[in-house]
Amino acid sequence: MNNLKEEFLKWIDFKPNDYHPLVWIRGEPKIGKNVYIGFFTIVNAKESEVIIGDDCDIAPFVSINCADSHKRCIGLQDHIDRKPIILENNVFVGSQSVIKPGAHIGHHSVIAAGTIVDPVKIPPYSLITGNPMKIREGYYKEKLAEKNSN
């Protein structure tokens, strides 16, 4: 198994990581404590900043990608746009979600499976769903208040 892993790592430019052998990390993202990152997830921080706070849970098949090359691809510019991405503490990201460059997700928020997160600042305790995304601000603040009042 180690020989296969070593051979695989020769062919890609991703560094080994502490999460899963099939998690691909590019660049130098800042990843907090007690973070889970599921297999077949990519975290691309190449030439930009990606911050993932403490106690985050990122499901399999998620794309957190600071780069957007569509304007370069169609000839509108000569460079790739890169913007920071921030996930504050206690953020859950559901499977098959995409977090676009420039997104800032507030603490204690949930990104539902399959959501495309646009480059906006999302308040804490939000539920974010769909494509186009919909933000339910304070959704989990209310749920936590209900739980604590019982």
Measure the CA–CA gap between 19 and 147, rounded to whole angstroms.
31
Residue 104 falls in the annotated catalytic set: no
92 three-state secondary structure: strand
Assign domain 2-149 to a CATH class: mainly beta
Tell me the percentage of the chain whose pLDDT exceeds 70.
Answer: 93
Measure the CA–CA gap between 128 and 8, rounded to whole angstroms.
36
Instruction: Give the pLDDT confidence of 80-105 residue by residue, as tens digits.
Output: 999 999 999 999 999 999 999 999 99
Question: CB count, 10 Å around CB of 20?
Answer: 14
Measure the CA–CA gap between 45 and 82, rounded to whole angstroms.
9
Give 129's strand partners.
Answer: 134
* Residue indicated by tokens 């510019």: 77
Q: Which of 20, 70, 79, 107 is catalytic?
A: 70
What average pLDDT does the chain have?
Answer: 92
Give 97's strand partners.
Answer: none
Instruction: Give the pLDDT confidence of 38-72 residue by residue, as tens digits.
Output: 999 999 999 999 999 999 999 999 999 999 998 88
Integer distance in angstroms from the first to the last C-alpha of the chain? 50
Q: When comparing pLDDT for 2 and 75, which is higher?
A: 75
